[in-house]
Amino acid sequence: MSLTLPLLAAITAALAWNLERPVYRHKWGHALSFVFGWLVGELAPFVVAVEVLLVLAALAGEGLSGVVDTLSLLVLLISWGVMLRHYSGGGDAALIIEQALCRALGDDYRQRISPALSARFPLAVLPSVLARPFRLDLPEVTRVKDIQYAEEQGIRLCLDIYHRDDMPRGCPVLFQIHGGGWTEKLGSKNEQARPLMNHMAARGWVCVSVDYRLSPTATFPAHIIDCKRALAWVRENVSRWGGDPTFIVATGGSAGGHLSSLLALSANDPAWQPGFEGVDTRVQGCVPFYGVYDFTERSGLKQNRVLFEALESSIMKTPYAAAPDAYAQASPLSRVHADAPPFLVIHGDRDSLCPVAEAKLFARTLAGVSESPVAYAEIPGAQHAFDIFRSLRSELVMHGVERFLAHLHTARLASMRPEQGATDSTGGQLGR
């Protein structure tokens, strides 16, 4: 008897189970749960298609023999159904993020968005987009790579700029901070958030993706200092690519979600702006994805001690017990305040790496004190890093982010005096 079908059935059943019941608490199991949940969850139709071909090839060569093969085929059919249901459930993200925006901005928020911007909102996710999940770049967008913005300790710090080919002027700016556990070789500006940056650049935004020093070579707060230095460089130079230096929104995922939130909540903190204390490092909004919002142990929401161990050994390089104030100051949860910019906090409800409960606590705490809108979207079925490539779930979330950004930009334009000749990034005059 061949083991092909039973082995494939066992593997497929485990993958399907992991989609529904991710591992959170096991020290290393949560990382494996993330990897397989992320890839299978956002690529389920392709996983199923490959497995179907494998099964057909096995049946063509060996046929279906015995009870074990029959049961294996049944397990495969059920597991494939679970995978495809999980993928199609990504369609629920549209309603979830729309409800989040309505709660934070008002049910009529779409009516208050500039028609020049809302006219370009996607009406649906095209099948042609889903058929090419790794098509991250768009032909109408130019990416200028590896522009040096600083050099620290012999390390060249660079950023990439994405802009529409015709380079309109006065474009709002999206400032992207990559994730990767604040750690070398786990992330860079080259692969993260490219669908979002290309999408927004095609809509007339200038998008900037930045590198920063990473641990264990770097010790916090070097990471956030570099991000602020990059923001200072962008504010001074982005107009060369058509960007508006007075309107910048920060975003990032995972460690980038932490750093973008920290950037937005620690504007003009001289302790984190050595040598450029006088530069305005305020941003006009923040969209963190699946971030870490608390380096301390106060909430008790961490599901394992992996983060604390990494912080103590590699990132903060000091025990929490010896420097609780430093850990608190590095936590966005400790820095919420009334003058915070508008936030859209996005997190998956099946995130194995960063607990969704912490994101919920951060959004609730920030909303309780901030005078600006705070939207919180908990995406059903979403694992960590669900937006790295194109899927039904990630595309619908991206469409919601576009509406949030368009609302912020419209409010900005509306606040400008008519005599300033405010224009949107499509070239249409607003306010006249």
Residues 301, 358: contact at Cβ < 8 Å?
A: yes
**Catalytic center residues:** 254, 351, 384
In eight-state DSSP terms, residue 424 is -
Q: What is the CA radius of gyration of the chain?
A: 23
Distance from the Cα of residue 44 to its chain's centroid: 20
Provide the Cα torsion 236, 175, 118, 91; round to 10°.
Answer: 180
Distance from the Cα of residue 147 to its chain's centroid: 23
Distance CA 55, CA 126 (A): 29
63, 118, 307 from 388: Cα distances, Å? 39, 25, 22
Cβ neighbours for 95, distance < 8 A, ≥ 6 positions apart: none
In 3-state terms, what secondary structure has residue 250?
A: strand
In 3-state terms, what secondary structure has residue 408?
A: helix
Nearest 5°: CA angle at 378, between 90 and 385? 65
Q: Among residues 177, 352, 378, which one has the least CA distance to residue 261?
A: 177
Distance CA 90, CA 43 (A): 11
- Alpha helical stretches, state H, 23-120: 29-42, 44-62, 66-88, 92-105, 115-118
Six-digit token string for 370 = 């901030």
Name the β-bridge partners of 144. Answer: 161
Distance CA 329, CA 318 (A): 14
Six-digit token string for 187 = 């992330």
Q: Among residues 218, 207, 381, 232, which one has the least CA distance to residue 287?
A: 207
Q: Among residues 298, 361, 295, which one has the least CA distance to residue 327?
A: 295
Distance CA 403, CA 410 (A): 10
In eight-state DSSP terms, residue 169 is S
- Alpha helical stretches, state H, 112-158: 115-118, 127-130
